[in-house]
């Protein structure tokens, strides 16, 4: 999975690999990535839930895991978590996306042994066309993934990209 937009793939690829591995291990879902693209931070988007972390240290930026509620619901179902009432669904989806984002970033940072990188606790953004606080004057790389259960995307923006 080698991408190059004049960026250091040794920073980006661990996040993508960690996401694929977590889907496979936790949910027995095999995501297939598509070609990365440059995301316009001012454009509208279709994602209903996003988990984002700020990255600091040797690299500085933002990593965002974005998906539809339908996929979040499927992830909950596959995790074996029991939802007692319909009122619990949305908070549980957000909690799951937060924890999944935390797992992805933790595994990615662990894989980058030659860099000193710190990540914030995940923040969840939800709702139609919810805003993401992208770093100013950086490129944002969007990497779409497809699964039988739904689509998702990992977006990365680091200073110097």
| CA–CA separation, 116 and 84 (whole Å) | 42
pTM: 0.88
Residue pLDDT, tens place only, 4-58: 345 567 788 899 999 999 999 999 999 999 999 999 988 889 999 999 999 999 8
- Strand 140-147 vs strand 37-39: parallel, antiparallel, or unpaired? antiparallel
Tokens of 49: 């839930």
DSSP class per residue in the chain: ----SSS-HHHHHHHHHHHHHHHHHHH----EE---EEE-TTS----SEEEEEEEEESS-EEEEEEE-HHHHHHHHHHHTPPP-SGGGHHHHHHHHHHHHHHHHHHHHHHH-TTS-EEEPPPEEEESTT----PPTT--EEEEEEEETTEEEEEEEEETT-
Task: Inform me whether the pLDDT recorded for 87 exceeds 70.
Answer: yes
């Amino acid at each position: 999975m080698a991408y190059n937009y004049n960026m250091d793939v040794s920073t980006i690829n661990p996040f993508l690999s960690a996401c694929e591995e977590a889907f496979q291990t936790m949910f027995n879902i095999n995501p297939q990535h598509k070609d990365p693209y440059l995301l316009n931070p001012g454009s509208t988007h279709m994602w209903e839930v996003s988990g984002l972390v700020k990255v600091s240290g040797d690299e500085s930026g933002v990593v965002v895991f974005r998906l539809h509620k339908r996929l979040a619901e499927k992830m909950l179902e596959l995790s074996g978590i029991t939802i007692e009432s319909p009122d619990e669904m949305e908070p549980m989806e957000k909690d799951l996306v937060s924890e999944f984002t935390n797992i992805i970033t933790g595994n990615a940072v662990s894989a980058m042994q030659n860099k000193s990188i710190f990540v914030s606790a995940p923040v969840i953004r939800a709702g139609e066309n919810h805003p993401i606080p992208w770093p100013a004057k950086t490129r944002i790389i969007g990497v779409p993934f497809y699964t039988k259960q739904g689509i998702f995307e990992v977006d990365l923006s680091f200073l110097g990209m």
